[in-house]
A and B are shown apart, each in its own frame.
Chain A
Amino acid sequence: MLKKDLILKSPVSQTIGIENVKDGRFGAVISRAGVGKTSFLVQIAITQLLRNEKIIHISLVEPIEKINLRYTDGYANLIDSIGYVDPQKAVRLWEDICPNKVGISYNESSFDTEKVRDYLKSFKKAGLSLPSIIIMDGLNFDKDVSETLERLDLLSREFSLFIWFSIKSHREEKLCEDGYPIQLETYKDMFDKAVFLNPVDDKLEAVILKDGARTDQIFKLDSATMMIAEKD
């Protein structure tokens, strides 16, 4: 029951759609530094955990403690958004779903998709269900990442998993003609989904840049919690 309520209340259900979130291969959450890309990605991951799916969160910029903290904060925000919940129930549910999350912190220079592949292969070997999505946080799209993306694409095909990326844009940069940030422009064909987070006043606009036929839909989020903002 609590699970259902949380899934319904999740900003991901409302902006992207709970089934849609892993429909395809690549997705991107784009924003300037410090706006909330990782927090939004964590909400995406939590919806999957609530559906008893496994997820892998790979960070090239944050240590494991920080990754874990982001998840407990993200879960607390989601719990708070549905009003009163028996704290014991909330804790029990988290203890129940948390083991399905694996956080991995790599140095950017030594990140190698082969290590992830080795790990994923062991799921098959042990007869375990595979993770449904990978969160890939901190890949530097200002550099040429085509080779890494190609390898991740292969991984996605081999293990049927969806990979969500965070992409950092820059304040001073103009958007391309088709409205995409320059960091995504080169690789846009590889991505099935793209969400742009744009701070407006004290809120955050989640602009759907790409998602099948759906484009330029805008949702307002609370910038502190990433939850859907109350209508003024």
Chain B
Amino acid sequence: MIRDLKRVRNIGISAHIDSGKTTLTERILFYTARIHKINEVRGKDGVGATMDSMDLERERGITIASAATYCEWDNHNINIIDTPGHVDFTVEVERSLRVLDGVILVLCSVSGVQSQSITVDQQMKRYQVPCIAFVNKCDRSGANPAKVSTQLRDKLGHNSVLMQLPIGLEDKHEGIIDLVSMTALYFEGDNGEKMIVKDIPTQMMDEAKIAREKMIDAVSLFSEALTDAILEEKEITTELIMGAVRTGTISRQMTPVFLGSAYKNKAVQPLLDAVVNYLPSPLDIENHAIDMDNNEETVILESSFDKPTVALAFKLEDGQYGQLTYIRVYQGCIDKGDTLINSRDGKKFKAGRLIRMHSNQMEDVDALPAGHIGAMFGIDCASGDTFVSPQINYTLLAMHIMEPVISLSIVPKDNKAQINMSKALNRFTKEDPTFKTYVDRETGDTIIQGMGELHLEVYVERMKREYAAEVTTGQPRVAYRETITQKGLFNYIHKKQTGGAGQYGRVSGFLEPCDEDFIFVNKVTGGRIPSNYIPACEHGFKGCMDKGPKLEFPVTGIKVTLEDGAYHAVDSSDMAFKAAARGGFLEAYAKAKPVIKEPIMKVVIETPNEFQGSCMGLINQRRGIIQGSQEEGGIMSVIESQVPLSEMFGFSTILRSATQGKAQFTMEFSIYKQVPQSVAEEIVRKKLEEKPKK
């Protein structure tokens, strides 16, 4: 492991789904001699890409969990995290970006900047991660890298600078012109491993000169020496240009754009050079922590091996040898056997087996020094925990974790599946903070919650494959509530004299709507109901709240005022008054115009402008209320609305198809509101239909 941090790069590869991230990673690993055969994402051999280690990933051709790997290029140690592109797995991207120093933003040369590129870009901004862009798929029909570079500028606000020109596009894509060295690069051999440097074709010379001038003009802003050289008409060396590009990139003031086709093995090696030359080493990035012993002051972490250790657990995985914790060391060095403290709970532990990951294969190492990414076994911790040396108490800033937006009920098919399902859920919730589960108290169903339908679908599939837990999924029931809308009086006598001890109790008062869930007010005077029976009355009323008389939904927002009553010296009891209260409640409830309430969600849609009207239409068709729509950055529109939860099932699919998959939405609970009459009738009808089944 390289200890000279100048020669370490921690990078991620992020992009929109199907832009070719995993394909690119596969090439990188091949050229850096980490693997000896290229396997395609959807290859005919059925092996699947090296980084897609999960069966499900290989089958679907998507990356679900971000895999970590490392390789060496030009005497540099590159740690790579391949991240999923699908929006539902965005937490994986967030987690990776938190610990990375730089990113290769992969864009499709045909589709350009897509919605997930925008999401990834926002995440990069949040964590201030510098990036270089790789315009992939230049061999595809309709490829236009110049347009993509312009989109980077217009849509994402990047100062994009083309560093290369393509030699031919689409099926004529042969290689690239490097505008820094002014050479033409061709890639030969079965896997493009032979990089041939030639002179620029004469017919492209003029174009290349103009492009180089433009590039130098753009990057000169970041180097006085380069500006001086231009003004004094001195020779402009490659070192000068590269220095300026590096400064601009690391300060996030420019994004150098590289071109190629990973699938056709074109121009991946120059991209690796760019990673080494332009993306920051751990020394170039300032990382902060909070000193909990010193008034929570922010401290700057130094990538020095002698300082006390500070590391972040950014991902957990339950493997065959127990919990595997992925860590990034920011300061100091973790050696095998070192004592560390988890700053969240103050628990001490010893660092056991340390490894470096290569997709799902492991390589044991003796130490993980600052600036490196690795993993440890046998630690019980949560994602986002900070590990420190005992002499300090720092905590790293937590990652941005989203709340789940969608839920589904699952039912195990048999007893065995039930046990396995619990095991699976236990593991998944630990691994993924955006995946949650609970048992619905009302329906008894196990509900799983996640970031989208695909997210949940993948977990259900994993339960089946990895844990042999067959489950059936259903639509979760909306948690309706009942309440009253006006005052209702009660005057109820509970009297029973059918042998044995008699029962007697009278309660009188009223129910009225209120903002709290339940309020009980005792206004009985003169001992009309002895005070020892009052708690029984309250209990009786409260007991009615669990199951509403109208449709058996829980009742909320009721204030009970008990004004009067009567008792019998012999026949009254707690039980009698409880029963009287129940009777009183039912009597008044019927008079108090009961209604059904439903959860209303705050739904925010982010969509490209051209779909704004249709997205607002979708809300309209779902009984939604649009609170406003705002155009942002000239390309995207944000629509804020309130929509009943019952109308939101399947919305992600509908939204995707209405917007070519370019819009995203988030959803959170806002308020309970009365269901309109027509919908209430439908709920009643469904409820009645269900009853005979039970």
Q: Chain B's nearest CB lies how many Å from the CB of A59?
A: 10
Given contacts A102-B629, A103-B629, A122-B618, contact A109 B634 (CB under 8 A): yes
Question: Residue-by-residue, is A76-111 near B (CB-CB < 8 Å gives 1, otherwise 0)?
Answer: 000000000000000000000001001111110110
What CA separation (Å) do A226 and B618 show in the bound complex? 36
A200 at the binding interface (Cβ < 8 Å)? no
Looking at B188-196, B573-581, B608-616, the stretch in contact with chain A turns out to be B608-616
**Do residues A68 and B628 form an inter-chain contact, with CB atoms below 8 A?**
yes
Q: Contact partner of A122 among B620, B630, B631, CB < 8 A?
A: B620
The answer to whether the Cβ of A121 comes within 8 Å of any Cβ in the partner chain is yes
List the A side residues contacting B610 at CB < 8 Å: 115
Q: Among the listed A63, A114, A126, which residue makes an inter-chain contact with B630, where contact means beta carbons less than 8 Å apart?
A: A63
Say yes or no: B625 contacts A115, CB within 8 Å. Answer: no
Q: Does A118 contact B (CB under 8 A)?
A: yes
Q: Are B628 and A103 in contact (CB under 8 A)?
A: yes
Minimum CB–CB distance from B220 to chain A (whole Å) comes to: 31
Is A117 at the interface (CB under 8 A from chain B)?
yes
Chain B residues whose C-beta falls within 8 Å of the C-beta of A187 in the assembled complex: none
- Does B626 sit at the interface, judged by CB under 8 A? yes
CB-defined contacts of B618 to chain A, threshold 8 Å:
122
CB of B617 within 8 A of CB of A104, answer no
Which residues in chain B, 48-69, are within 8 Å of chain A measured between CB atoms? none
B616 and A67 contact, CB distance less than 8 A: no
Contact of A102 among B609, B621, B628, B634 (CB under 8 A): B628
Query: A122 and B616 in contact (CB under 8 A), knowing A109-B634, A115-B609?
Result: yes
Contact of B613 among A64, A67, A118 (CB under 8 A): A118
A-chain residues with CB within 8 Å of residue B626 when the two chains form the complex: 102
For residue A105, which residues in chain B have a CB less than 8 angstroms away from its CB?
628-631
CB distance from B401 to the nearest CB of A (A): 27
Residues of the B chain whose Cβ atoms lie less than 8 Å from the Cβ of A117:
613
Q: Which residue of B lies closest to A60 (CB)?
A: B631
Task: Place the interface of chain A in its size category.
Answer: 20 to 34
Q: Which residues of A contact B631 (CB under 8 A)?
A: 105-107, 110
Q: Let me know if B621 and A122 touch, CB within 8 A.
A: yes
CA distance A220 to B609 in the complex (A): 42
Tell whether A110 pairs with B609 under 8 Å between CB atoms, given A105-B630, A119-B616: yes
Q: Is the CB of A114 within 8 A of B629?
A: no
Say yes or no: B616 contacts A64, CB within 8 Å: no
Shortest distance from the beta carbon of B258 to any chain A beta carbon, whole Å: 31
Question: Does A116 lie at the interface of the complex (its beta carbon under 8 Å from any beta carbon of B)?
Answer: yes
Which residues of chain A have C-beta atoms less than 8 A from B620's C-beta?
A: 119, 122-123, 126, 128
Decide: A104 near B621, CB < 8 A? Known: A110-B634, A117-B613. no
Within 8 Å of chain B (Cβ to Cβ): is A125? yes
Interface positions, chain B 216-245, Cβ under 8 Å from A, are none
Q: Which of B364-419 contact A (CB under 8 A)?
A: none
Nearest to A128 among chain B residues (CB) is B620
> How distant is the Cα of A116 from the Cα of B617 in the complex, in angstroms?
10
A125 and B609 in contact, given A99-B625, A107-B634 (Cβ under 8 angstroms): no
How far is the CB of B672 from the nearest CB of chain A, in Å? Answer: 14
Cβ-defined contact, B628 with A115, below 8 A = no
Name which residue of chain A comes closest to B623, CB basis: A126
Contact B621 A115 (CB under 8 A): no
B621 touches A126 (CB 8 A): yes
A106 to B638, CA, bound (A): 11
Contacts of A106 in B (CB 8 A): 631
Chain A stretch 113-143: residues in CB contact (< 8 A) with chain B: 114-119, 121-123, 125-126, 128
For window 589-639 of B, CB contacts with A under 8 Å fall at: 609-610, 612-614, 616-618, 620-621, 625-631, 634
Cβ–Cβ < 8 Å partners of A125 in chain B: 617, 621
**Highest count of chain A CB atoms <10 Å: which of B610, B613, B618:** B613
Question: Which A residues lie within 8 Å of B625 (CB)?
Answer: 99
Given known pairs A110-B609, A119-B620, A126-B620, the reply for A104 and B629 (CB within 8 Å) is yes
Q: Which residues of A contact B634 (CB under 8 A)?
A: 107, 109-110
Give CA–CA (A63, B633) in the complex, Å: 12
Q: Is the CB of B609 within 8 A of A119?
A: no
A126 to B626, alpha carbons, bound, how many Å?
15
Minimal beta-carbon separation of A66 from chain B (angstroms):
10
Check B628–A67 contact: CB distance below 8 A.
yes
A121 and B617 within 8 A (CB): yes
Chain A: which residue is nearest B626 at the CB level?
Answer: A102
Checking B614, B628, B642 against A64 with a beta-carbon cut-off of 8 angstroms, the contacting residue is: B628
> In the complex, which residues of chain B have a beta carbon less than 8 angstroms from the beta carbon of A119?
612-614, 616-617, 620
Query: Could you tell me if B630 and A64 are in contact, using CB atoms closer than 8 angstroms?
Result: yes
* Residue picked from A67, A107, A116, most chain B C-beta under 10 Å: A107
Q: Which of B617, B621, B627, B642 contacts A118 (CB 8 A)?
A: B617
| Neighbouring A residues of B629 by C-beta, 8 Å | 64, 102-105
- Given A67-B628, A110-B634, list of 13 further CB < 8 A pairs? A102-B627, A106-B631, A107-B631, A115-B612, A116-B613, A117-B613, A118-B613, A119-B616, A122-B617, A125-B617, A125-B621, A126-B621, A128-B620
Residue numbers of A with Cβ under 8 A of B are 63-64, 67-68, 99, 102-107, 109-110, 112, 114-119, 121-123, 125-126, 128
| Cross-chain pairs A/B with CB under 8 angstroms, 8 sampled | A64-B630, A103-B628, A110-B634, A112-B609, A115-B609, A115-B612, A119-B612, A125-B621
CB-based closest 6 A-B pairs: A122-B617, A118-B613, A115-B613, A64-B628, A64-B630, A99-B625
| Residue positions of B touching A, CB distance < 8 A | 609-610, 612-614, 616-618, 620-621, 625-631, 634, 640, 642
